[in-house]
């Protein structure tokens, strides 16, 4: 029997696949399984980047499993420490998550896209939020989407039922690249390998600082960064890797990152 959530290590890359026919819909137990994979990713120092995709070509995920809801699963169930989808609310996750959107990203699937660091979409992908049609609201989407899109576009998606195709999503900055379906995973892996070429602590410090300062002014963000209170930033400044970078440049050789 196929695992609902499978993970394969590709060197320092953890490739996670959601495989729950017919639409890769996510119930509480599936979200908990995704959270478990992302906790493993967060806590393993050998892993640098995660790629999440869906099985098949029609759905990345249809979002919340309405069949489970009709059987009594509550909207505010225990979805695991990472929240719905496994990673968007996971404390201490300062490593990049790439989504490879292989089809429709519906409801919670679209919200997962909003929470990712980088997104590659197949050219037939679609993004939409149908929640008002089933009597609820997209909790995360209601908060995140107006910060990512111009107000009229966000409102049309949230309350007007507008579907964004892959090129719409890229035009509005929700997606990094649009490629054919057979190029999807290779493109995601290329992005991951470019990230891996950088120093691990530097990458993590950037992600951590973005999370801490996104609600602050530039002045307040810089003050926080220079306060000495951001542990990963301070660790990065005094790390061996911070010395290795300039040294490798002077010696005209690739850097040998140690992550400390």
143 and 79 fall within a common domain: yes
pLDDT tens across the length of the chain (260 residues): 468 999 999 999 999 999 999 999 999 999 999 999 999 999 999 999 999 999 999 999 999 887 766 666 566 678 999 999 999 999 999 999 999 999 999 999 999 999 999 999 999 999 999 999 988 999 999 999 999 999 999 999 999 999 999 999 999 999 999 999 999 999 999 999 999 999 999 999 999 999 999 999 999 999 999 999 999 999 999 999 999 999 999 999 999 999 88
222 and 106 fall within a common domain: no
pTM of the model: 0.94
9 and 108 fall within a common domain: yes
52 and 160 fall within a common domain: yes
Of 180, 196, 212, which residue sits at a domain end?
Answer: 196
Q: Is residue 260 part of a domain?
A: no
Q: Is residue 170 part of a domain?
A: yes
Q: Give residue 128's pLDDT.
A: 97
Q: Give residue 13's pLDDT.
A: 98
Q: Is residue 257 part of a domain?
A: no
Q: Which residues are catalytic?
A: 111, 131
28 and 134 fall within a common domain: yes
Q: Give residue 257's pLDDT.
A: 95
Q: Give residue 75's pLDDT.
A: 61
Q: Give residue 160's pLDDT.
A: 95
Q: Which domain holds residue 212?
A: 200-250
Of 155, 175, 196, which residue sits at a domain end?
Answer: 196
Q: Is residue 259 part of a domain?
A: no
Write the secondary structure of the chain as one string of H (helix), E (strand) and C (coil): CCCCEEEEEECCEEEEEECCCCCCCECHHHHHHHHHHHHHHHHCCCCCEEEEEECCCCEEECCECHHHHHCCCCCCCCCCCCCCCCCCCCCCCCCCEEEEECCEEECHHHHHHHHCCEEEEECCCEEECCHHHHCCCCHHHHHHHHHHCCHHHHHHHHHHCCCEEHHHHHHCCCCCEEECHHHHHHHHHHHHHHHHCCCHHHHHHHHHHHHHHCCCCHHHHHHHHCCCCCHHHHHHHCCHHHHHHHHHHHCCCCCCCCCC
């Amino acid at each position: 029997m196929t695992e609902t959530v499978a993970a394969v290590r590709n060197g320092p890359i953890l490739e996670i696949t959601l495989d729950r026919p017919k639409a890769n819909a996510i119930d509480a137990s599936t979200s908990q399984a995704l959270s478990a994979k992302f906790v493993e990713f967060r806590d393993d120092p050998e892993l640098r980047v995660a790629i999440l995709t869906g099985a098949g070509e029609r759905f990345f995920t249809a979002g919340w499993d309405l069949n489970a809801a009709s059987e009594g699963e509550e909207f505010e169930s225990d979805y695991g420490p990472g929240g719905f989808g496994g990673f968007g609310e996971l404390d201490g996750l300062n490593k990049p998550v790439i989504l490879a959107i292989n089809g429709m990203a519906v409801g919670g699937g679209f919200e997962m896209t909003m929470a990712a660091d980088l997104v590659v979409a197949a050219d037939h992908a679609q993004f939409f939020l149908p929640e008002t049609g089933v009597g609820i609201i997209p909790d995360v989407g209601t908060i995140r989407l107006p910060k990512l899109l111009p107000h009229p576009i966000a409102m049309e998606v949230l309350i007007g039922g507008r579907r964004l195709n892959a090129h719409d999503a890229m035009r509005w900055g929700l997606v990094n690249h649009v490629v054919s379906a057979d190029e999807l995973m290779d493109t995601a892996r290329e992005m991951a390998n470019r990230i891996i070429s950088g120093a691990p602590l530097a990458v993590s410090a950037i992600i951590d600082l973005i999370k801490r300062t996104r609600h602050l002014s530039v002045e307040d963000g810089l003050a926080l960064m220079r306060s000495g209170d951001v542990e990963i930033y301070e660790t990065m400044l005094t790390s061996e890797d911070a010395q290795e970078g300039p040294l490798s440049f002077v010696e005209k050789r690739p850097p040998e990152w140690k992550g400390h």
